[in-house]
Amino acid sequence: MKFLATLFLISFFTACNTNPSDKYLAIAENTENTDTKIIQEHPGKKLMENNCYVCHNPKTAEDAMIAPPMVAVKMHYTSEGTSKEEFISAMVEWAKNPSEEKSKMPGAVKKFGLMPYQFYPEETIVQIADYMFDNEIEEPEWFDAHYKQMHGDRPRMKGKMGRGMGSGKGMGKNQEANAQPTLKERGMQMAQTTKAELGKNLMGQIQKNGVIAALDFCNVQALPITDSMATVHKAYIKRVTDKPRNPKNKANTAELQYLDNFKKQVAAGGEVDPIIVKMGVETEFYYPIVTNSMCLKCHGTPGKELETLTLSKIQELYPTDKATGYGENEVRGIWSIRFEN
């Protein structure tokens, strides 16, 4: 089982052309809305999305999953009598030393293999587990059918085990059938499914051949994989940054403004909303890519998180690399997506 397995986000960003004149207003409007928010999002939610969803993303198709969805993890580690303290303790102990003996998901271990050990600060795991226990976890669209196939009519555990946002829970059949995804939902789906597809391929390389081989793979395959997902979604999908590993990945003037705006929001610790700009018949969607502890294996400080052999390989593949020196929970770049309304 790959519970809480994550990919170090080896970012390969490419730039797209945009018209900056109309989008500076969008930045101001987005910042103003952020300043007026007084309700803070649970930090565990964003930590779960950043650290877990590359492998456990609920937007991923069933046959493309490389680990069970997080709602399944919660389901197997929670019973009617499980306290929050017990649940958090089990998650922390699992993350410290994954083993078949500790796993409560033997089916997942058989299907996906055992999660490889990866370092996470204990406080990160505590916050993720705290959020999971108290909140509904988003389910994949295919999860209901999968559950019935595996467990028949056996009821699920009572409590907050629902699908969470975006599931349509509580809608009537006609409402659900007629509901159209918003521009935000469409953009988020494109970003999340593309991230998941990259994660599936890159994590497979890391597990089979190690970090150095994964760098070789990403150097050749990351952009084609992103382009293939753009074709699937009939959209223009890129990831851009102010500190590119590849010079082709540098953000343009407008994207640099959005990037700066997201950096301020993430640093402030509040909820981060995507920036959505309607340009006639098209929509432009922007959302931050945030680092976690595993990202620092390729984007951290040389001699600290970034090992000498890894740095040497990066310099060989990317002689003008600028994508190092990051810490945890920093904006590494942004998704830049354009699609028809």
Q: Which CATH number fits domain 43-178: 1.10.760, 2.60.40, 1.10.287, 3.30.450?
A: 1.10.760
**293/7 Cα distance (integer angstroms):** 10
Question: Tell me, what's the pLDDT at 199?
Answer: 73
Give phi and psi for 120, each to the nearest 5.
-135, 140
Question: Tell me, what's the pLDDT at 71?
Answer: 93
Question: Tell me, what's the pLDDT at 258?
Answer: 96
**2/10 Cα distance (integer angstroms):** 19
- The dihedral built from the CA positions of residue 75, 79, 84 and 86, taken in this order, carries a sign that is negative
Question: Tell me, what's the pLDDT at 129?
Answer: 94
pTM (2 d.p.):
0.62
Question: Tell me, what's the pLDDT at 119?
Answer: 61
Instruction: Give residues with Cβ within 8 angstroms of 12, minimum separation 6.
Output: 218, 219, 222, 223, 226, 239, 245, 246, 249
Is the distance from CB of 324 to CB of 302 less than 8 angstroms?
Answer: yes
Instruction: Give residues with Cβ within 8 angstroms of 277, minimum separation 6.
Output: 22, 23, 26, 283, 284, 285, 286
Residue 327: other Cβ atoms inside 10 A: 13
Question: Tell me, what's the pLDDT at 115?
Answer: 76
Q: Which two tokens stand for residue 66?
A: 């490389």
Is the distance from CB of 105 to CB of 133 less than 8 angstroms?
Answer: no
- What is the mean pLDDT of each successive set of 10 residues along the chain, which is 341 residues long? 39 36 39 48 85 81 84 90 93 86 86 72 89 92 86 61 40 49 88 79 74 83 88 93 91 96 87 89 94 82 91 94 92 95 90
Question: Tell me, what's the pLDDT at 185?
Answer: 86
**Residue extents of the structural domains in the chain:** 20-41+182-340, 43-178
In sequence order, what DSSP letters do the residues of 288-331 get, joined into one string? EEE--TTTHHHHS-BTTTB-HHHHHHHHHH-TT-------TT-E
Question: Tell me, what's the pLDDT at 155?
Answer: 64
Question: Tell me, what's the pLDDT at 90?
Answer: 92
**CB neighbour class for 189 (10 Å; exposed up to 12, middle 13-18, buried from 19):** middle
Question: Tell me, what's the pLDDT at 171?
Answer: 40
Question: Tell me, what's the pLDDT at 55?
Answer: 78
